[in-house]
Amino acid sequence: MSAVQSASPTGRRTPTVILLLVLATFVVILNETIMINAIPRLMADLEVTERSAQWVSTAFMLTMAAVIPATGWFLQRVTTRRAYAIAMGVFLAGTALSAVAPTFEVLLLGRIVQAGGTAVMMPLLMTTLMTVVPEQDRGRVMGNVTLAISVAPAMGPVLSGLVLQVGSWRWLFLLVLPIAGAVTWFGLRRLENIGETQTGAIDVSSVALAAIGFGSLVYGLSRFEADNVATPALIVAVGLALIGVFAARQLRLQRTGTPLLDLRILLIGTYAKALLLMSIAFLAMLGSMILLPLYLQNLRGLSPLATGLLVMPGGLAMGLLGPTIGRLFDRFGGRVLVIPGSIGIAASLAGFTQISMTMPYWQLLGLHILLMVSLAAAFTPVFTLGLGALPQHLYSHGSSMLGTLQQVAAAFGTALVVTVMSARSTTLIDEGTDPVAAHLDGMRLAFGVSAALALVVIVMAVLLPSRSHAPEESHETEQDAVELIKG
């Protein structure tokens, strides 16, 4: 099996395989948020309610949460080229189906198929990066990955706003289709296989438990509303119970060496801290992505396109600073970036608690840019530190766990801010407060809760080391896992 050449000895060249995977990942992740602005059009064209139309985004997120836990096992058993071909082929099929969908049900199926391909790409990219890039150069290369994981979601609403100004929602898929096709063709021409595949049967019950458990958790969180708590809470409880059963089964399967998701990664302190920090930071980012458009459009009266243009500089700054932050990480380590970044996250969210009907747009722009730049300062080093602390044979499982908890954090962040905002505004309206003032106060409280959670990010940042070194490929983590199982 061939292996692509790694970075040059001077550490200045990013391997071609990484560039190809970053490009493909950018294209597929873009689609996670590209339908946000299309909800009104879907309601009119396909004659569905707003709650039903929201499923084009909810179903995408649910599928990602259900599929990603299995990608660690999948990536260890197929070659890099085959994983890439399957992921992009599935994504292309879903995109084509969505573009020609005659009914809402078919569109929903297309989105689910799209998400199935997307779920494989991020773990594939991260696992390959950690395998082929030397430790001393990972920060710079991981900074390039930030372009895919941060700019793509931020650009989705902006691009969809531009397209919807002049055309149908179908063009959101018709424009992506040839781009994704070209990326797939070029990737298959140049991509080489990395590492060696392993053998082992898949545990069907683990797949079912992971899909239903994580899917139920994300679905329950996405259904939370101020006046509807009991049913979503029950769904969340069922999801958590199934995840608990899934975790117990993985611990038993680790004795045979074939778990679907190897939980020994959680025994490594640096990875566990990085995982918690990433989840809460991602929660804060998604919470702001929900609250800001609601504030700008519903209270300040901006159009979806104007809203997208206002938040676009922050997303671009986050992505474009990624490579620079990566180089700083390679030179100085993680703490000098993650600690100031975590403080900036908390400070920007605290600043959003002061929003009003007269706050100048330049202040909103400044706070949003501060939030995005601070997230960039945290994301690149934390990704690198967390995965770098794992032995090589656990890279794919570590990437899968990160991807899964990102989807859970996104759902939890959305549920948290919407529930807090709705509960507060409803209470104030019942007390006779003006509806606009009540909704504004609810948003301030939601931002305040996010800022309070960001304090946990600061604590985790202080606890993280500046550098991480993977344990030797010995039985240390295996022994820890055995002791955990026995205990």
User: pLDDT, tens digit, for every residue of 396-436?
Assistant: 888 888 888 877 887 788 778 878 888 888 888 888 888 88
> What pLDDT is attached to residue 296?
86
Question: Higher pLDDT residue, 128 or 353?
Answer: 353
Contacts of range 54-58, beta carbons closer than 8 Å, 24 or more positions apart: 55/108, 56/107, 56/108, 56/111, 57/32, 57/33, 58/219, 58/222
pLDDT (mean) for 239-258: 86
Q: In whole numbers, what is the pLDDT of the chain averaged over residues?
A: 81
DSSP 428-484: HHHTT--HHHHHHHHHHHHHHHHHHHHHHHHHHHHHS-SS--PPPSSSHHHHHHHHH
pLDDT of residue 8: 38
| pLDDT the model gives residue 195 | 66
395: confidence class by pLDDT, cuts 50, 70, 90: confident
Per-residue pLDDT at 316 exceeds 90: no
Give per-residue pLDDT as tens, 380-394. 888 888 888 888 778
Would you give the end-to-end CA distance of the chain in angstroms? 41
Q: Which pLDDT value is given to residue 6?
A: 38
Task: Please give the pLDDT value at position 188.
Answer: 87
Mean of the pLDDT values across residues 119-138? 81
State the sign of the Cα–Cα–Cα–Cα dihedral 183, 186, 189, 193: negative
pLDDT tier, 481 (very low <50, low <70, confident <90, very high otherwise): very low
Could you tell me if 213 and 239 are in contact, meaning their C-beta atoms sit under 8 angstroms apart?
A: yes
Bigger pLDDT: 154 or 486? 154
Burial of 1 (0-12, 13-18, 19+ CB in 10 A): exposed
Confidence of residue 44 (pLDDT cuts 50, 70, 90): confident
Return the SS3 of 225.
Answer: strand
Using the predicted structure, report yes or no on whether residue 343 has a pLDDT greater than 90.
yes
The enclosing H or E element of 300 equals none
Tell whether the model's pLDDT for residue 61 goes beyond 60: yes
- Say if residue 13's pLDDT is above 90: no
Q: What is the pLDDT of residue 157?
A: 74
Query: Does the pLDDT at position 302 exceed 60?
Result: yes
Element (H, E) at 10: none
CA 423 – CA 439 distance, rounded (Å): 10
Confidence check: pLDDT of 487 > 50 = no
**Which tokens hold the place of 119?**
């779920």
The one-letter amino acid at 175: L
**Residue of higher predicted confidence among 361 and 472:** 361
Residues 6 or more apart whose CB falls under 8 angstroms from that of 366 comprise none
Distance CA 428, CA 136 (A): 55
pLDDT band for position 200 (cuts 50, 70, 90)? low
Helices 230-253 and 476-486, packing angle to 10 deg: 120
Q: Return the pLDDT at 252.
A: 86
* Cα dist from 345 to 27, 340, 351, 374, 462, whole Å: 27, 9, 10, 6, 14
- Asked if pLDDT for residue 174 goes beyond 80, the answer is yes
Average pLDDT over residues 243-271: 85
User: For residues 46 and 337, what is the distance between their CA atoms, to the nearest angstrom?
Assistant: 48
**The predicted structure's pLDDT at residue 12:** 57
11-25, 230-244, 369-383 — which is least confidently predicted? 11-25
Q: At a CB cut-off of 8 Å and minimum separation 6, what does 358 contact?
A: none
Average pLDDT rounded to a whole number, residues 437-460: 89
Token reading at 403: 């991807």
**Is the pLDDT score of 220 beyond 60?**
yes
